[in-house]
Amino acid sequence: MIAEIAHVLRVIFGLIFLFFVPGYAITLALFPRKEELSPIERLGFAGALSIIADILTVLFIDLVLHIPTTPLNIFLSLLTLTMIALIIWKIELYFIEKRSPHSEVRPSNENK
């Protein structure tokens, strides 16, 4: 019974990781500001980009790097792609915040 539940959870989380997580990380890297995309658009792009990223990553590790395509290798390569996209997103946010002028509170000039 527990093994069946574990298998179902593994499949559910595997599908979420496969069809959503890499694409969402890529959308964050491509559109770092929250207001650039609506949540519905971000979810749509995440699904499409995940499928594209999955296919291209598997082809890259198989044809270019000559690494056998086992489930573990595919998972690790997609995890690496996701981490790279998140690092790029954080770097973009850092430079966006650094470039934008900070709103400073200035004391009002009162005539006494």
Per-residue model confidence as pLDDT tens digits over 75-111: 999 999 999 999 999 999 999 888 876 644 455 555 5
- Alpha helices (H) in 62-108, listed in sequence order: 71-99
Mean pLDDT value across residues 11-22: 91
The mean pLDDT value of the chain amounts to 87
Other beta carbons within 10 angstroms of residue 101's beta carbon come to 5
Q: How far apart are CA 97 and CA 75, in angstroms?
A: 33
In this prediction, residue 105 carries a pLDDT of 46
Band of the pLDDT at 34, cuts 50, 70, 90?
Answer: confident
Residue 73 to residue 27: CA distance in whole angstroms: 23
Q: DSSP H helical segments within 20-60, as ranges?
A: 21-30, 39-59
